[in-house]
Structure 1
Amino acid sequence: MMGERTVMQEALFYSFRIEDHVPQDHLLRSVDRFVDLTGIREHLKPFYSSTGRPSVDPELMIRMLLIGYCMGIRSERRLCEEVHLNLAYRWFCRLDLEGSVPDHSTFSKNRHGRFRDSDLLRKLFEMTVERCMREGLVGAEGFAVDASLIRADVHRQRSVPGEEGLPPEVAGRAVAEYLEVLDDAAFGAATPVEPKRVSLTDPAARWTAATRDAAFYSYSTNYLIDLDHAVIVDVEATTSVRQAEVLAQRRMIERTQERFGLWPEKLVADTAYGSAPNLAWLVEDKGIEPHIPVFDKSARSDGTLARSDFTYDAEDDSYLCPGGKRLRPSNRNFKAPRPLANADGFIRYRASQKDCQACNLKQLCAPRTATRKIVRSVHEGARDLARDISKSDAYLVSRRQRKKVEMLFAHLKRILKLDRLRLRGPNGAKDEFHLAAAAQNLRKLAKMRPMPGLATA
């Protein structure tokens, strides 16, 4: 017999607990164990008035933001809808069935005000690092650093050539933030090279063609991770140029040492961080072993003798060529002493013209010049150390470990859906990068420290 449609009738009383309807293996249950926001209120207290109407609970907003970044919900409008409907999200936010969800505009208001004024999202990220340290997930024996391009929320066509600059009528919050960071070495002052194009919507975003895709506007998120369990120990937002990314590496290492007392023995990175000044900073200033390929353009492709064919004599401060002759920084005596190194920190070693003209290797060594020149950095000692490390077995291990930071970027873009920014301006990029890094650390904690009694994969 065919059943009849039942009509839902409201009961007078319900015996209902949200706790009973959230699965024990739900991700947010594992994450919730490591979220301690007891210090949030005290941190924000100076930024609230002692009178007036009570505001939305800041802990509720932070918990909602953590849900959004942990679960890959990019829209705050959709986040409010999901928290309203999803029982697990309500449980994580400490909302009962009658608890009201704040309007999406509340997040924007607080983000541009109290959250940024108090640097709250930075504090939230550092809280996750401290928890990872307490759980024993940070060994601090080795760090890895890298940067990844994140598309900015702008249209490619709404821009002007870089040499023209911004029109005077362009205004907005993102433009004001761009003007504030013009002298910041991580943004406007990172390089004297003008970008090919400047966005009218978000001028601080950098026009880049670093990928195989069509050129686009982007920011760079920089990660400093611990190699033991790939915990993100620091994050920095910069413009998408190599100089800014190297500066971010220095800032993150110094901040990690000052904030958490972490002093790594080695740093693993790619060739972008292998410049002579950066290697010298790591070796001489910080005492960190650079497991980094040396940024070196001395190799030749025309078959002539390369710099590696010459032997450096440290005691005599000269190079010995394959023909047995010396190349020195100076072959003349000047009345007024001249600096040996140029403005870029390189010393040029030159052979005497008499030796080169009489040498049988002249055509193989310097076929188009009168004499042979060898360029040596003032930081060559640090470069030589990096070259020696690159020949060791430990370096091969480091090459494999460096993939951990690349996997974090893949997780950031594929799982957390942060392949394109939603907020604009340098501050918007910082906010999103801090929240995303905090979410990744919390998910790492949930994975490495699973719920008691649950089987692990």
Structure 2
Amino acid sequence: MMGPRQEAQAALFYEFSLEAHVPQDHLLRSIDRHLDLSSIRGHLADFYSHTGRPSIDPELLIRMLLAGYCFGIRSERRLCEEVHLNLAYRWFCRLELSDSIPDHSTFSKNRHGRFRESDLLRHVFEMTVARCIEEGLVGGQGFAADASLIVADVQKQNSSNPESWEERTVKPEDAPRAVREYLDVLDDAAFGAASETTPKFTAHADPASQWTAARKGPAFFAYSDNYLIDTDHGVIVDVDASRSIRQAEVGAMRKMIDRTEDRFGLKPDWVAADTAYGSSENLVWLTLKRKILPFIPVIDHSKRKDGTWSRSDFTWDADNDRYICPEGKELHHTRRNYSDPSRHKPKPGRRQYRSLKLDCQRCLSKPKCCPNTATRSINREEYEIVRDFARLCTASEFNPTAQRRRKKVEMLFAHLKCILGLGRLRLRGPCGVQDEFTLAATAQNLRKLAKLKPMVPAIG
């Protein structure tokens, strides 16, 4: 038969324990096991006044932010509602049922103030990396670098082209916060100084964002989220925000490699990346300055598309400073004889090697080599020897393994957008974007720790 109607009756006393109501296999339990925020009060001590009303515990704010990013809750209003209702979130944030939830405005107040001034979010991120190292998840032998486009919080309609910039001139003190932040980083290699090219459009609300059509579709404003990961378990060892152009992304990779060695003493034996990082300048920096093997495809525009011989079909003779064509003819930079041998030594810079006109006229393979010119010429870059070394690395037996491990960083970006919901930014300006990227990377490392080093439930 049908049972009695269930009616809620208020009780005078409740015996309730948050600890008992959070499942032992809940993700937040494993994350909490690896999260130690006891040092942040000391880190922020100089940024609080010794007088006045007591402030909200900064550890509570950080725990709430981390819980939100771990579960894809980036709206601070919604985060406060979820923490108010969800028992697991309350347990993770050390809140009892009777404790009140901070107002959402508290997050922006602290983010624009003491959190940013003290670089607290970077401090928390580095603590998670140190925990991953302590748990043996970071080998330090091989790193991978990549960047992913994240849509900025601006619209095309709220932008202008260079011709109309002067019409919108405003005083720096009257500009929005994101505009002032952009003015502060104009000389930064990751933003204003990344390229001398004038952007086609500039967003009024967030001028540091880049107008780009890199996805081969409609153009949009975006930032680049740069990751440097250890390829053993895909742990993010560093994260950085930059404009969405190749020069800025390459500069971010160098910055992260240097910072990782400075913070944790980690210097990789090799680095894997895609062709965007294969410029001569970057390969020279990796191989000659940092002594790191580059498993990076070289940016090479010498390959011909009309079926004639490319530069790779010619043999380089370093001892005699010459190229030898497939027919055995020589291409020299100069054929003059100097009384002073030092004048014949190769000089730095790009060099051009040419064949003899007589050799090319008599050659039966001229239609395959230089059908439209009298002689064949080949340009050799200043650091072509470094580019050749990078080609040897990508042709080695280990390269397939390095490229397979490099895909872990692409998987992290897919997880970032699909699981954590960071397909579009909420904050504006270089500082706000860096805060979002840092929190997301911290959440991904914590989830990685929880997955690979889970909490073992107590038996009995």
TM-score, L = length of structure 2: 0.94
- The residue type paired with residue 94 of structure 2 is R
Segment of structure 1 superposing worse, 304-313 or 223-232? 304-313
Give the residue type in structure 1 aligned to 2:93. C
Which amino acid in the other structure matches residue 41 of structure 2? Answer: R
Percentage of identical aligned residues: 62
1:398 is aligned to 402
1-structure distance, mates of 2:410, 2:57: 36
Which amino acid in the other structure matches residue 221 of structure 1?
D
Which residue number corresponds to residue 388 of structure 1?
392
2:351 maps to 1:347: yes
CA contact (8 A) 2:212 2:221 kept: yes
Count how many residue pairs are aligned between Structure 1 and Structure 2: 453
Q: Using a 3 Å threshold, how does the CA distance of structure 1 residues 262 and 212 change in structure 2: closer, same or farther? A: same
**Partner secondary structure for residue 150 of structure 2:** strand
In 2, the alpha carbon distance for the partners of 1:363 and 1:14 equals: 93
Q: 1:248 to 1:341 in 2, by over 3 A?
A: farther
Instruction: Find 1:289's aligned residue among 270, 287, 293.
Output: 293
Give the structure 2 partner of residue 327 of structure 1.
331
Distance 1:31 1:269 in 2: 30
Q: Which residue of 2 aligns with 1:227?
A: 231
Cα distance in 1 for partners of 2:52, 2:262 equals 39
Q: Which amino acid aligns with 2:376?
A: R
Displacement of 1:350 in angstroms is 2.5
Measure, in 2, the Cα distance between the counterparts of 1:314 and 1:284.
Answer: 19
2:435 matched to which residue of 1? 431
Q: Which residue of 1 aligns with 2:413?
A: 409
Q: Quick check: 1:206–1:240 contact (8 Å CA) kept in 2?
A: yes
Question: In the alignment, which residue of structure 2 is the partner of 1:158?
Answer: 158
Q: Distance in 2 between matches of 1:330 and 1:121?
A: 58
Task: Encode CA deviations 1:335-382: one digit per residue, 9 max, x unaligned.
Answer: 9x799768xx43222234454445443333223334322122222222
Of 218, 221, 229, the residue aligned with 1:214 is 218
* Cα pair 1:138 1:229 within 8 Å, conserved: yes
SS at match of 1:221: strand
Once the two structures are overlaid, the 10-residue window that deviates more, 57-66 or 171-180, is 171-180
d(CA) in 2 for partners of 1:122 and 1:44?
13
- Partners of 1:232 and 1:454 lie apart in 2 by 30
Partner of 1:257: 261
Contact kept in structure 2, 1:153 and 1:423, CA below 8 Å: yes
Give 1:102's aligned residue: 102
1:171 shift after superposition: 2.3
User: How far is the alpha carbon of 1:386 from its aligned partner?
Assistant: 1.7
Residue 393 of structure 1 aligns to a residue in which SS?
A: coil
Show CA shifts across 1:47-72 (max 9, x none). Answer: 11111111111000000000110010
Which amino acid in the other structure matches residue 418 of structure 1?
Answer: L
Runs of at least 4 residues of structure 1 off by over 3 A?
1-7, 162-166, 330-335, 337-342, 352-363
Equivalence for 2:36: 36
Does the residue aligned with 1:189 lie in a helix, a strand or coil?
helix
Deviations 1:291-313 (A, max 9, x none): 11111111111121110121111
- The CA distance in 2 between the partners of 1:50 and 1:378, in whole Å, is 60
Deviation at 1:398, TM superposition (A): 1.3
Amino acid at match of 2:169: P
Partner of 2:193, secondary structure, is coil
Contact 1:34 1:131 in 2 (8 A): yes
- Give the secondary-structure state (helix, strand or coil) at the position aligned to 1:385: helix
Distance in 2 (CA, whole Å) between partners of 1:164 and 1:331 is 55
Tell me the secondary structure at the aligned position of residue 149 of structure 2: strand
**Aligned-pair distance for 1:325?**
2.9
- 3-state SS of 2:352 partner: strand
Listed one character per residue, the Cα deviations across residues 148-172 of structure 1 (whole Å, up to 9, x for unaligned) are 0000011121111145436214820
Letter in 2 for 1:113: G
User: Aligned with 2:398: secondary structure?
Assistant: helix
Residues 30 and 454 in structure 2, CA contact (< 8 A), matched pair in contact too = yes
- Tell me by how many angstroms 1:333 deviates: 7.7
Alpha carbons of 1:429 and 1:339: their partners in 2 closer, same or farther (altered >3 Å)?
A: farther
Matched residues in 1 for 2:79 and 2:30: separation?
20
Does 273-282 or 238-247 show the bigger shift? 273-282
CA contact (8 A) 1:202 1:424 kept: yes
Q: Which structure 2 residues correspond to residues 11-90 of structure 1 after superposition, within 5 A?
A: 11-90=11-90
Q: 1:310 to 1:163 in 2, by over 3 A?
A: farther
CA distances 1:145-200 after superposition (whole Å, capped 9, x unpaired): 10000000111211111454362148201111111111111111111112221111
Whole-angstrom CA distance in 1 between matches of 2:107 and 2:347: 54
| SS state at 2:34 partner | coil
2:252 aligned to 248, 251, 258, which one? 248
In structure 1, the residue corresponding to 2:199 is in which secondary structure? Answer: coil
Cα distance, 1:391 vs structure 2 = 2.0
CA contact (8 A) 1:160 1:200 kept: yes
Query: What residue identity is the alignment partner of 2:389?
Result: L
- Matched with 1:185 is 189
Deviates more, 1:137-146 or 1:185-194: 185-194
Match of 2:169 in 1: 168
Instruction: Give yes or no for contact 1:220–1:239 (8 Å, CA) kept in 2.
Output: yes
Structure 2 CA distance for aligned equivalents of residues 12 and 187 of structure 1: 61
Paired letter, 2:219: A
The structural deviation recorded for 1:454 is 8.0
* Alpha-carbon shift at residue 451 of structure 1 (Å): 1.3
Cα-Cα RMSD = 2.2
Match of 1:112 in 2: 112
Unaligned runs of 5+ residues in structure 2 are none
- Secondary structure at the residue paired with 1:31? helix
Equivalent residues of 1:25, 1:454 under 8 A apart:
no
CA distance in 1: counterparts of 2:234 and 2:32, whole angstroms: 20
Q: Which residue of 1 aligns with 2:92?
A: 92
- Give structure 1 stretches of 5+ with no counterpart: none
Report if the CA contact (8 A) 1:142-1:266 is conserved: yes
Q: CA deviation at 1:88?
A: 0.5
